Homo-oligomer: A and B are copies of this chain.
Amino acid sequence: MKKIDILKKLRSSGLRPTKQRVEIAKFLFEREKTFHFTVESLNKLLTKKSASKIALATIYNTVHSFKTAGHLSEVEVRGNKTYFDTNVSNHHHFYDSETAELIDIDANDIIIQKIPKAPNGKKIKNVEVFINLKN
């Protein structure tokens, strides 16, 4: 994803392309493979990579803006920290609790044959499968 596209992506979601947002967006979206991170890990990586320090609060703000705009998804993982994923399509995850690492599973790689109906007046929003790993 080129810089011009990053700017488009931001603008089209109503996000003013500030220096900080562009830097974070480039870091997150200019890559081939999907990327999983926590705010803490992202902060570390950005600090290492760049000269200009972005405030931690800004990273929180930006990540949440990107999530609201649909550019990131939040992954539920047991534990204290919140994980985010640059893959926003419908998919599933392996979770390796040894390394606290998430691995994407393509939606087509899991087929669910039988599923219960939603309770009283509720509808199914989505189905998430977690495959927990051990050594």
Do B135 and A118 touch (CB < 8 A)? no
Q: Which of A79, A96, A103, A133 has the most CB of B within 10 A?
A: A133
With both beta carbons as reference points, the residue of chain B lying nearest to A103 in the complex is identified as B119
With both beta carbons as reference points, the residue of chain B lying nearest to A132 in the complex is identified as B125
Interface residues on A, range: 35 or more
Shortest CB-to-CB span from A37 to chain B, Å, is 16
Q: How many copies does the complex hold?
A: 2
Chain B contacts for A94, CB-based, 8 A: 118-119, 122
For the A-B complex with A109-B114, A118-B133 known, give 19 more contacts whose Cβ atoms are closer than 8 Å: A75-B78, A76-B79, A78-B82, A94-B119, A96-B122, A109-B115, A110-B114, A110-B116, A111-B112, A113-B113, A115-B131, A118-B131, A121-B135, A122-B135, A123-B134, A124-B133, A124-B134, A127-B129, A128-B129
Instruction: Give the interface of A toward B (CB within 8 A).
Output: 74-79, 82, 94, 96, 103, 105, 109-116, 118-119, 121-135
Among B74, B105, B115, B123, contact of A78 (Cβ-Cβ < 8 Å) = B74
